[in-house]
Amino acid sequence: MLRPQPRADHPVGRRRGTPDRGTASPRTATVALATAAAALAAGLATTAAAAPARTAVADAAAVSRPAAADWSTPTAEQTFHRLATYPVHLNRPAGEDPTAETVAEISAVSDDGRTFVHTDALARRIGFVDITDPGAPAGLGTLDLHAGLGVGEHAEPTSVAVVGNHVLVVVDTSASFTDPSGVLAVVDLRTRTLVRTLDLGGQPDSIALAPDRRHAAIAIENQRDEDASPADGDEGDLPQAPGGFLQLLDLPDTADPGTWTTRAVPFTAPDGSALPSFVAAGLDTPHDPEPEYVAVDPTGTTVAVTLQENNGVVLVDLASGSVTRVFSAGSAAVTGVDVTKDGRVDQTGALPTRPREPDAVAWLDAGHLATANEGDWKGGTRGWTVFDTTGAVVWDAGAELERLAVRVGLHTEDRAAKKGVEPEGLAVATLGGTPYAFVGSERSNFVAVYDVTVPAVPRFVQVLATTNGPEGLLPVPSRDLLLVSSEEDDASALVRSSVTVFGRGPAHAAASGTPAFPSVVSADDGAGNPIGWGALGALTADPADDRRLWSATDAAYTPTRLLSLDVSGTPAVVDREVMVTRDGAPVGLDVEGVAARAGGGFWLGVEGATGAANQLVRLDASGAVVETVPLPADVASGLTKWGVEGVAVAAGKDGEHVFVALQRGLTTDPGGLGGTARIGRFDVDHGTWTWFAYPLETTSTTGDWIGLSEVTAVDHDTLAVVERDKLNGPTARVKRVYAVDLPADPAPGTVGTLTKDLVRDVLPDLRATHGWTQEKLEGLTVGGDGTVWAVTDNDGAVDATGETVLMALGDAADVFAGHLDAGPTPTPTPSVSTPVPSPSGTPGAGAGATPGAGPTRPDVPRFTPTADGLTDANRGGVTVDGTPRAGGTITVRGAGFVPGEWVQVWLFSAPTALGWARADATGAVEARLTIPSSVAPGTHRLALVGQVDGRTVWVEVQVRAASGRGAGALATTGADGVTALALVAAGLVAAGGAVVVATRRRPGLAATTRAARFVVGRR
């Protein structure tokens, strides 16, 4: 049997008492990142990384064991719940082409908080949406600025505000870059008629109201032409006259727009030269200022204006219109980010020192303001910064937003070489007594929420998933709402602009989408970086660990990695990665299916660009390719670009069999691509194939098609198949799981016919998130405890929202009711629950089982250690998390054992058995153990002993005296030989010898891969 040696190992620590799936975990945030402020904002906890491994692994893929990490769940009071996602194209005018571009950009809300108004520059109109019920937004129509209001042929709204019964629409009417113009159109909110216009004297960008609504500020950008080249400059460079300025709006009678007047605040001298204050501040090209965004401080006395291309901030006294301070936004170098578009999530890159070039600005209090450092002309630092009013930086996010995107699966490799997450929007508001900052990532499609009670130390609270290009961030404190408008709209790519509604606190909890985002996060790797993940197009259960699943990256990333998901808590955690290699070198494959083998290793279903490139690939437990199986030539010749999309493995008395699902029909089969899809069974021992025809659903939607995306084994003669369409959002129709009972094998050379039975329509589950309904329902498996899991493929966040949805669909006995035969009830992997007596049985019980391995723990150890057997030769390969203390609890990890092998943990000097653990599919173990209170303080040795061949590894630990304070410290000991190997929680035996087991007996169901060894066709 192959001894597993994983290429990379990234475990995540889970505290005792982790709740079951579906219950929010109260894990706390204690990780230390680069700075103290970053530690408060990170939402994760880590322990020190361990020493390099002693076990030899391939140099190209080996890493040291990572620090453990805990994802922080916000308190009930600070949780923002996703309530609805409203596609704005549903609010288009009657008769308009539904595929025409229409967007939601900057937004405002009526005084009663019930009517949402947004700009739509592409369609040159503004939209109105009823949010009386925040969980069911309803379109109220649009207003065309040219045809409806007659404010200009080139009328493009750039910003909007609401004062009483009037909508203030900032409109760019410029005919060219060199002749900028704009107006403020005042519209009656009820009748949507034009009340009056005010000339703004230039091309406007944003508007901000003072707290008393009696003043407003409008940034007049007079933006540059990115295709124009100034004298002695490159394309898009400054200067490009005329320069911009600030326009102030006075509203002495807020109910009577006839009393409103404007005051211009020039940002250049009368002759067009730079103001001395701009020069003194060190602004770039100070004689061509380009105001981008404005905000009024909480006292209503000072306006902050960002000059993005000039990399500066200007403070203006609102009453007098005088410039009171100008300061540079400064420059920063950023380390620990991905800066190369190469298919690898590589967080070892660095951005050299560059200007922040802020976009949005918001006041945290009267003494602090924050900027979103999107960058434009020359820079951008991928984060956000807090300044005091002197211009001093008091806090900077550094690489935090980039790492957050990686951790929650929203990293976009396509933007790695450009501006990364590209923070553009920023808003600050107090909800429920707590001041929050909301920072929007334009490219990774999320909003990061921070508690800014202490402005100099923002504390990360939560990450909110949006649709593509979140730009307008609109808090509605009176209703505890946050509305996010996203601007990207491309019907041909199935990307549609929308408004997402979030509600804060317990009052909105009952209406919250489920599962909550994120449903998957990643732990840190050995270097302390979040494990990069995404494009989870496959799913399989771990044969040895009921609480663990495996997935794999597809062609969106290279090289290919197997990713392990700990699903014992919420969210699930990607806690390790195993590099796929061929001949010792990492390899990139388009993996669309993965199936764990009971004896260790995996089968992969690999889709090819051509029919002949579709294949099955077998890996050993280290991820090395050991066998490649092509499809039969007659099948491959009928494939187009739609090939292998799912794989399942089964082994029994007739040997090992691998099932493969082809996504669409063969061109050589009746019905062609849309007729029947093929499901094949490969007999590993004999190298033969048997094929069945699966009937596909049909669609009448233009551009749509229906195909298979997964196959998994359920019991001895039943497969589960995922069938889906190509649609997403409100147009999605087919996201289904069917059960297929295998018939007798067809005659040689013929194709059998399958009959399918719908067992789960997953569309309601996807809609239940209250986010964008995802297209690619791609992974399905049955966990060792009988839970049916499904996952969506986020396409690497390319032409997709990037959100991954991992769903627990229920118990397999319920989902597949009527398809399960009576069979052996699995013995679950020991887990934390109510103590019961140790299970009885002989070592290695089970027909054909390896002694010392299998589902049942030996009641009598086959191998026990002695003090003399703990030598320098076998020292190392063990890590201990927690402070070893008499009566305290520690977590012990080790690896390199046989998959499924039982491992006993001992403590010396006086030999004391502490408990058991079972190795997972990669040969790794983890156990949370209690040190007996009778153990004397001092130096002890802790040993792990495998029960297949007696393999023993050990480490020295210092046990402290018992303390009433418990053992909560996150200290790491015994790092003198830590291996780079995969670890997994498996079992716990108290000192008295009782094993802790959670049992749920399901007649007729054997847990996926354990049952799958019986899944062979009827002969």
What value does the mean pLDDT take over residues 901-921?
Answer: 89
How high is the pLDDT of residue 64? 29
What value does the mean pLDDT take over residues 286-312?
Answer: 98
Is the pLDDT at 684 greater than 50? The verdict is yes
How high is the pLDDT of residue 20? 35
Distance CA 480, CA 790 (A): 32
Dihedral of alpha carbons 820, 822, 828, 832, sign: positive
Whether the ω angle into residue 559 lies within 30 degrees of 0, i.e. cis, is: yes
Dihedral of alpha carbons 965, 966, 971, 973, sign: positive
Local confidence band at 983 (pLDDT 50, 70, 90 cut-offs): very low
How high is the pLDDT of residue 849? 60
What value does the mean pLDDT take over residues 712-734?
Answer: 96
Local confidence band at 909 (pLDDT 50, 70, 90 cut-offs): confident
Which percentage of the chain shows pLDDT scores above 70?
Answer: 85
DSSP 8-state assignment for residue 744: B
DSSP-assigned letters across all residues of 958-988 = EEBPP-TT-S----EE--SS--S----B---
Domain boundary among 795, 814, 833: 814
Q: Identify the CATH number of the domain in which residue 795 sits.
A: 2.115.10
How high is the pLDDT of residue 899? 86
What value does the mean pLDDT take over residues 303-311?
Answer: 98
How high is the pLDDT of residue 887? 85
Is the pLDDT at 882 greater than 70? The verdict is yes
Q: Identify the CATH number of the domain in which residue 129 sits.
A: 2.120.10.30
Report pLDDT digits (tens) over 746-763: 999 999 999 999 999 999
Distance CA 409, CA 157 (A): 34
What value does the mean pLDDT take over residues 238-267?
Answer: 98
Order the strands of the 902-908 sheet from edge to edge: 912-918, 902-908, 938-946, 952-959
What value does the mean pLDDT take over residues 503-531?
Answer: 96
User: For the ranges 258-272, 304-318, 651-665, 920-934, which has the lowest average pLDDT?
Assistant: 920-934
893 and 808 belong to one structural domain: no
Distance CA 421, CA 400 (A): 10
624 and 771 belong to one structural domain: yes
654 and 754 belong to one structural domain: yes
With H, G, I as helix, E, B as strand and everything else as coil, classify residue 938.
strand
539 and 652 belong to one structural domain: yes
810 and 937 belong to one structural domain: no
DSSP 8-state assignment for residue 279: H
113 and 182 belong to one structural domain: yes
Domain boundary among 912, 940, 957: 957
In a domain, 528, yes or no: yes
Stretch (H or E) spanning 764: helix 763-767
Distance CA 41, CA 972 (A): 23
User: For the ranges 74-83, 107-116, 409-418, 850-859, which has the lowest average pLDDT?
Assistant: 850-859
Most distant CA pair in the chain, distance: 96
What value does the mean pLDDT take over residues 270-298?
Answer: 98
How high is the pLDDT of residue 46? 28
**Assigned token pair, 409:** 């699966």
Distance CA 102, CA 935 (A): 70
Enumerate residues 6+ apart whose C-beta is below 8 A from 747: none
Of the candidates 682, 680, 678, 673, the one whose C-alpha atom is nearest the C-alpha of residue 641 is: 673
User: For the ranges 139-143, 474-478, 854-858, 884-888, which has the lowest average pLDDT?
Assistant: 854-858
In a domain, 762, yes or no: yes
Report pLDDT digits (tens) over 115-171: 999 999 999 999 999 999 999 999 999 999 988 888 878 899 999 999 999 999 999
Mean pLDDT, the chain, rounded, equals: 86
805 and 881 belong to one structural domain: no
How high is the pLDDT of residue 921? 80
**Assigned token pair, 442:** 């334009």
Is the pLDDT at 981 greater than 80? The verdict is no
The residue among 506 and 824 whose pLDDT is bigger is 506
Place of tokens 């061109």: 667
559 and 650 belong to one structural domain: yes
Is the pLDDT at 352 greater than 70? The verdict is yes
Q: Which domain, by its residues, includes 618?
A: 518-814
How high is the pLDDT of residue 898? 87
What value does the mean pLDDT take over residues 604-617?
Answer: 95
How high is the pLDDT of residue 896? 87
In a domain, 671, yes or no: yes
Is the pLDDT at 49 greater than 50? The verdict is no
How high is the pLDDT of residue 70? 57
How high is the pLDDT of residue 466? 98
Is the pLDDT at 6 greater than 70? The verdict is no
Report pLDDT digits (tens) over 355-403: 999 999 999 999 999 999 999 999 999 999 999 999 999 999 999 999 9
In a domain, 343, yes or no: no
Is the pLDDT at 976 greater than 50? The verdict is no
In a domain, 62, yes or no: no
In a domain, 69, yes or no: no
How high is the pLDDT of residue 652? 82
How high is the pLDDT of residue 963? 67
Q: 420: left (phi > 0), else alpha (psi -120 to 50), else beta?
A: left
Local confidence band at 924 (pLDDT 50, 70, 90 cut-offs): confident
641 and 713 belong to one structural domain: yes
Report pLDDT digits (tens) over 402-453: 999 999 999 999 999 999 999 999 999 999 999 999 999 999 999 999 999 9
The strand pair at 182-188 and 972-973 is best described as: unpaired
Stretch (H or E) spanning 401: helix 400-407
How high is the pLDDT of residue 823? 52
626 and 558 belong to one structural domain: yes
Q: Identify the CATH number of the domain in which residue 902 sits.
A: 2.60.40.230
How high is the pLDDT of residue 851? 87
Q: Where are the alpha helices (DSSP H) in 3-89?
A: 36-42
Report pLDDT digits (tens) over 817-849: 999 876 543 333 333 222 222 222 322 333 346
709 and 598 belong to one structural domain: yes
Task: For 987-996, give one letter per residue: b (16+ CB within 10 A) or e.
Answer: bbbebeeebb
666 and 583 belong to one structural domain: yes
What value does the mean pLDDT take over residues 867-896?
Answer: 88
With H, G, I as helix, E, B as strand and everything else as coil, classify residue 141.
strand
In a domain, 571, yes or no: yes
* Domain count for the chain: 3
How high is the pLDDT of residue 228? 95
Is the pLDDT at 224 greater than 60? The verdict is yes
Domain boundary among 814, 836, 855: 814
How high is the pLDDT of residue 72? 83
Enumerate residues 6+ apart whose C-beta is below 8 A from 405: 411, 412, 420, 421, 441, 444, 446
In a domain, 165, yes or no: yes
